[in-house]
């Protein structure tokens, strides 16, 4: 068995005296997709921010294993190292595409920036990659020089995904990637994400309140309530044989809907 | 004649000391923007208060000062600053590039090559080259610290995507000494090659933004570009209408109400000396 | 013959926390051993846990007690205790499951749905698709539908795509949960041909079947849960 890609140990984040995440541990293996589900306020977004290095936890550790086997302790590492990791090995898909895109520059520049950030300095190659990625996220290449402001919500989200995946990361964090979109747009986006994640053999941590998203994208689930993980397991285990009272309620309320 | 008792070069000694410390630090870390406590001056921001403070801090009674604005010695801004120092420091002033020991400039580098015993002081409106894409100062400082400069190429990318070439023609970003990306102030990119490996010390002062930075003598300054769109400067297809120079930076001058125009050197001193007597 | 699956004292109870903690017993002290290459039919009256047993073996239901030892990659793995990661590996290589319903992904074409278990195992795409098309043809899915996502298909067509998917990758152990439910006679025959083929190639079959006649046809022996 390979070393886990991400090892989260005893992670706690307090806001004042209130714990938003309480003693959370889990491992994510290469190519694995884990969904963190729970209602708003359950601490899932705080957890995501901590494990993706955007917020320092009150205690606990996050260890990342590089492709060459080297292990980085996220919060013991220098900020330079952490940011380098986030730029080269990781992606982060925000719920609101405006938070993940540079809205002031063209779609092509949004994709290109990721490449330039890791050292690409050949305009022609950068542009060709941007075109390729637009088509992979089903956006016409003719829209490459348009501003993301002229894009629909679904297109912006797909652009954000392209911007994240163009550098072929090993791990992608997604915060409610389909939240705030129309149902039909959601389905298309989920399909797209699922295909890309599989084809690129990406590992992903997906935060969602939507069990359908979890079912479609993830192989494993973590259910959170009041800052704690109340249940974990394979996605089909959690959905078909929920153990915790809260999970049973969550699953039952969805099936009735 | 007994004018008001100004301290030499207007600023008090404490302030000059503080500015000099900032300058020393700036020279020690080429291209790094050093914060300093910019003072009020008897002129508005935008008139070169940053440059004036740097000049005041380095000026000695033996110096000869030249001030240019867009290359010209005879514009309001240049004349005012020259007379300011003439009054508050009593230093000699000149329009001749070769005779000057300190040249304060707005938006140009003289055509005449500079020497080791000269200092070029730039007036800088916006010192932060990353601000175009990242407005947060906390973030841009971090980006400088960690050499995260990919974003600088985004602007150049946009230029090529929109215009087919890098259309940025002034304040063209460059990397100093292989480390810090800096904004050479709004000089035309035509002047960027003169920044590189210059024998003269180059100091940059931003009064409103309270930053000083420097390019020490003989320091590499490389303009940013793409492998397949290398940095280049274009000349003019006509020579200067007055002196006939084919290698200097030309300004377009409208000469009559019929829309007639001509191209002349922006560096007035250079042009004057080339003119047949 | 060597055993491939050893179930000891398996226990499963559903606790419904939102029905005053009601306990629904499903299996109590269930023990069985299944030999490699055997075809076993699970029988019993409705509600005796036939499907639940399959889901326990597949790891979808979590065992309340006991062990489910399966021969996986030259060792024994206990599904009742295994980590999710290990269960995924077991599902990729050792145990296949033909379920009753197809879980549709909206935009994936039928032939890819069928080929997926092979692709996940890292098999070459053209070979995987060739196998998928053979199975779709065998189960009378018209060729014009192969490139379309099954979400638009009729219930019967979806079920046949699902069966094709279940049979596309060969597993040492294949679980079948009433694979012929809702199929017509012609297609039922085709499914039994597939089961025959699997048995011929040495696959261990554990299945829940529609009636006694099907059980006799598809299995060597019966395990009755009554």
Does B contact A via 3+ CB–CB distances below 8 Å? yes
Q: What share of chain B is helix, strand, coil (3-state, %, to 5)?
A: 30, 20, 50
Residue B158 to residue A122, Cβ atoms within 8 A = no
- The pLDDT, as a whole number, for residue A256 is 47
Confirm if C68 and C76 have CB atoms less than 8 A apart.
no
Please give the ipTM for the structure prediction: 0.89
Q: What is the mean pLDDT of residues B208-237?
A: 95
Q: Counting every residue, how long is chain B?
A: 277
- The pLDDT, as a whole number, for residue A21 is 93
- The pLDDT, as a whole number, for residue A52 is 95
Q: From CA B53, how far away is CA C131, in angstroms rounded?
A: 80
The tokens for B87 are 């009054």
**Helix B137-145 and helix A79-88: axis angle, to 10°?**
90
* Collapsed DSSP state (helix, strand, coil) of residue C59: coil
- The pLDDT, as a whole number, for residue C204 is 96
B46 pLDDT above the threshold of 50: yes
Instruction: Give residue-wise pLDDT tens across range C146-203.
Output: 999 998 898 889 999 999 999 999 999 999 999 888 888 999 999 999 999 999 999 9
DSSP sequence for A134-182: HHHTT--GGGTTS-GGGS-HHHHHHHHHHHHHTT--SEEEEESTTTTS-
Asked if the C-beta of B154 comes within 8 angstroms of chain A's C-beta atoms, the answer is yes
Asked if the C-beta of B133 comes within 8 angstroms of chain A's C-beta atoms, the answer is yes
Count CB atoms within 10 A of the CB of residue B201.
22
Instruction: Give residue-wise pLDDT tens across range C49-100.
Output: 999 999 999 999 999 999 999 999 999 999 999 999 899 999 999 999 998 8
Confirm if B151 and B134 have CB atoms less than 8 A apart.
yes
* Collapsed DSSP state (helix, strand, coil) of residue A11: strand
Confirm if C164 and C125 have CB atoms less than 8 A apart.
no
Rounded to the nearest angstrom, the gap between the alpha carbon of residue A18 and the centroid of all alpha carbons in its chain is 25
Contacts of B145 in chain A (CB under 8 A): 80
pTM of the model: 0.89
Q: From CA B144, how far away is CA B155, in angstroms rounded?
A: 17
Question: What distances in angstroms separate CA C49 from CA C11, C14, C32, C214, one per listed residue?
Answer: 11, 11, 14, 19
What average pLDDT is seen over chain C?
Answer: 92
Please identify every stretch of chain A with a pLDDT value under 70, giving residue numbers as ranges: 1-2, 255-257
- Extended beta strands in chain B, E state: 34-35, 64-69, 92-93, 102-106, 119-123, 174-176, 180-182, 201-206, 211-215, 221-223, 250-254, 261-265
What average pLDDT is seen over chain B?
Answer: 94
Count CB atoms within 10 A of the CB of residue B20.
15
Catalytic residues of B: 31, 240, 243, 265, 271
The tokens for A60 are 């606990």
Nearest alpha-carbon partner for B97 in B8, B194, B228, B12: B194
Chain C residue closest in CA terms to A194: C105
The tokens for C160 are 């046949």
Residue B158 to residue A109, Cβ atoms within 8 A = yes
- The pLDDT, as a whole number, for residue B277 is 62
Question: What distances in angstroms separate CA A68 from CA A2, A72, B30, one per listed residue?
Answer: 12, 11, 36
- Give the torsion sign (CA, C188, C189, C191, C196): positive
B1 pLDDT above the threshold of 70: no
For residue B277, what are the contacts with CB-CB under 8 A and spacing of at least 6? Answer: none
Q: Which residues, in sequence order, are bridge partners of residue C106?
A: none
Ordered structural domains, chain C, with CATH: 37-62+83-224 (3.40.50.300)
C29 pLDDT above the threshold of 50: yes
Residue C85 to residue A29, Cβ atoms within 8 A = yes
């Amino acid at each position: 068995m390979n070393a886990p890609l991400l090892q989260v140990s005893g992670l706690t984040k307090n806001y004042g005296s209130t714990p938003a995440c309480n003693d959370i541990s889990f491992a994510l293996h290469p190519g694995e997709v884990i969904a963190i589900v729970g209602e708003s306020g359950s601490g899932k977004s705080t957890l995501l921010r901590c494990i993706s290095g955007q917020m320092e936890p009150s205690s606990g550790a996050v260890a990342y294993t590089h492709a060459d086997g080297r292990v980085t302790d996220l919060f013991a590492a220098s900020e330079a190292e952490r940011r380098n990791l986030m730029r080269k090995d990781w992606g982060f898909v925000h719920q609101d595409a405006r938070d993940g895109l540079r809205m002031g520059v063209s779609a092509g520049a949004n994709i290109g920036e990721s490449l330039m950030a890791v050292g690409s300095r050949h305009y022609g190659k950068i542009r060709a990659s941007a075109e390729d990625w637009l088509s992979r996220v089903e956006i016409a290449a003719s829209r490459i020089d348009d501003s993301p402001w002229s894009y629909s919500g679904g297109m912006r989200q797909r652009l954000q995904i392209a911007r994240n995946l163009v550098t072929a990361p090993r791990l992608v964090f997604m915060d409610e990637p389909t939240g705030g979109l129309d149902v039909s747009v959601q389905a298309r986006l989920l399909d797209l994400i699922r295909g890309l994640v599989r084809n690129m053999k990406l590992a992903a941590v997906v935060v969602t309140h939507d069990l359908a998203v979890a079912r479609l994208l993830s192989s494993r689930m973590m259910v959170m309530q009041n800052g704690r993980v109340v249940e974990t397991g394979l996605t089909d285990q959690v959905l078909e044989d929920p153990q915790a009272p809260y999970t049973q309620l969550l699953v039952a309320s969805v099936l009735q809907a | 004649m007994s004018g008001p008792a100004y301290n030499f070069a207007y600023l008090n000694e404490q302030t000059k000391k503080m500015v000099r410390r900032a300058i020393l630090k700036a020279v020690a870390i080429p291209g790094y923007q050093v914060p300093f406590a910019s003072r009020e001056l008897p002129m508005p921001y935008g008139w070169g208060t940053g440059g004036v403070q740097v000049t005041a801090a380095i000026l000695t009674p033996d110096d000869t000062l030249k001030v240019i604005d867009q290359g010209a010695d005879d514009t309001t801004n240049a004349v005012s600053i020259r007379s300011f120092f003439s009054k508050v420091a009593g230093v000699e002033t000149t329009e001749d590039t070769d005779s000057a020991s300190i040249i304060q400039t707005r938006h140009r580098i003289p055509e005449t090559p500079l020497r080791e015993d000269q200092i070029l002081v730039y007036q800088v409106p916006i010192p932060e080259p990353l601000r175009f894409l990242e407005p947060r100062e906390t973030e841009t400082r971090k980006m400088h610290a960690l050499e995260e400069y990919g974003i600088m190429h985004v602007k150049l990318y946009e230029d090529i995507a929109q215009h087919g070439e890098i259309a940025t023609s002034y304040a063209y970003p460059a990397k100093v000494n292989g480390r810090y990306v800096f904004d050479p102030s709004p000089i035309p990119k035509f002047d960027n090659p003169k920044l590189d490996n210059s024998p003269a010390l180059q100091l940059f002062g931003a009064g409103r933004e309270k930053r000083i930075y420097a390019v020490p003598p003989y320091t590499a300054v490389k303009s940013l570009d793409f492998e397949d769109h290398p940095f280049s400067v274009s000349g003019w297809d006509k020579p200067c209408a007055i002196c006939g120079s084919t290698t200097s930076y030309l300004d377009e001058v409208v000469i009559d109400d019929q829309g007639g125009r001509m191209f002349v050197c922006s560096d007035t001193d250079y042009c004057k000396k080339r003119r047949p007597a | 013959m060597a055993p491939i699956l050893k179930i000891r004292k398996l226990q499963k109870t559903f606790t419904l926390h939102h029905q005053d903690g009601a306990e629904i017993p499903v299996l109590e002290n269930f023990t069985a051993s299944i030999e490699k290459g055997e075809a076993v039919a699970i029988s019993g009256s409705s509600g005796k846990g036939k499907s639940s047993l399959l889901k326990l073996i597949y790891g979808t239901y979590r065992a309340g007690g006991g062990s489910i030892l399966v021969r996986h990659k030259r060792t024994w793995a206990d599904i009742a205790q295994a980590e999710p990661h290990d269960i995924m590996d077991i599902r990729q290589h050792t145990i296949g499951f033909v379920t009753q319903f197809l879980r549709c992904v909206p935009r994936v074409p039928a032939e890819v749905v069928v080929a997926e278990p092979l692709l996940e195992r890292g098999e070459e795409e053209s070979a995987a698709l060739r196998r998928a098309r053979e199975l779709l043809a065998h189960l009378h899915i018209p060729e014009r539908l192969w490139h379309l996502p099954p979400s638009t298909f009729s219930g019967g067509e979806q079920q046949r795509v699902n069966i094709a998917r279940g049979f596309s990758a060969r597993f040492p152990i294949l679980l079948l949960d009433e694979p012929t439910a809702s199929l017509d006679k012609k297609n039922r025959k085709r499914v039994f041909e597939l089961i025959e083929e699997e048995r011929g190639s040495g696959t261990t079959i554990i299945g829940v079947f529609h009636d006694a006649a099907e059980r006799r046809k598809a299995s060597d022996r019966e395990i009755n849960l009554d």
